[in-house]
Amino acid sequence: MKYLVVDDEPIARRRIQRLLGEFEILECVGEAPDGQQAVELVESLKPELVFLDISMPGMDGIELGKYLRENNANLKLVYVTAYPEHALKAYQIFASGYLVKPVDRSQISELLNHLFPDSLAKLQYQVGHDIRWVNVPDILIAQTDDRYTHIYFEGGDALIDMPLKKLLSDYPHHFVQVHRNTIVKKASIVKLESCEGGHRVVLNGLAEPVQVSRRAYASLKTVF
C-alpha cells in the first residue's frame, strides 16, 4: 500500500515514516515539505494514502486536502497534527483519518484496521506439529477441492480448514472470485487475457496465469 508523507518539518517526516515502517503492508514512495511538491508527487507516484500536516507554509494542509480530494476521489487522506481542534476542518473535506502528535504505533494500528479491515488479518495453518500464520494480504490465490482450501503466497503454500466462500466473504476487499473454485488477490491482478478455450488472469507474483470462468470474466472485464 503506497503512501506519501507531507510535512514541512524533516524530523516530523522521519518520525512518522519510522512508525509506518513497522507495518509491512505500507510502502513509502515519497515525502514532500510543502503542498506544491505534494501535488506533483501525488500525480507522478500515485499513492493510495497521504499523511499530511495541517500547519505548513504556503498551501496549508486543509487547502492541499481540498485540492487532492477534488482531483483524486479515491485517495485516502490522513491528517497528522499537534492541534486536535483542527479535526473538524479535516473531516469537512472527508479526511479518512486524523492522528494527533505525538503519534504512536497503537494509533496507526487502529487507523489501519479502520481504513483497511483486511490489512492486518492473519490466517492460521499447520506444518507437521507447528502452527504458523500467514498475512491475508500476502495470499495471492486460494483454491478449493470442496473439503480444504489451498492457499498460495509468496514463499510457500498451505492447506487451511476454511471454506472458500467464507474466505471471500470475510475479506471482500482483498479477494475476487475468478472461478467456481478459485479466488485471487485483487491488487495483484496485472491483466485479463484471452487463451484457447476461454480467458485467464495474470497475477503479479504468480508464475502461471489462472483460468477465469465466463461468468467471472463478464464482471472482471468491467473493472480491470
pLDDT (tens digit per residue) in 143-191: 998 778 999 998 899 999 889 999 998 888 789 999 999 999 988 999 9
The side-by-side arrangement of strands in the sheet containing 139-144 is 156-160, 149-153, 139-144, 182-185, 175-179
Rounded Cα–Cα distance for residues 80 and 51 (Å)? 6
Q: How many CB atoms lie within 10 A of CB 146?
A: 8
Rounded Cα–Cα distance for residues 219 and 190 (Å)? 16
Q: pLDDT at position 15, please?
A: 93
Domains, the chain? 2-115 (3.40.50.2300), 122-220 (2.40.50.1020)
Q: How many CB atoms lie within 10 A of CB 120?
A: 15
Question: By C-alpha distance, which of 171, 178, 108, 183 is closest to 142?
Answer: 183
Rg (CA), the chain: 20
Beta bridge partners of 77: 50
Phi, psi values for residue 20, rounded to 5°: -65, -25
Whole-model pTM?
0.58
Q: In this predicted model, what pLDDT tens digit does every residue of 206-216 receive, in sequence order? A: 989 999 998 89
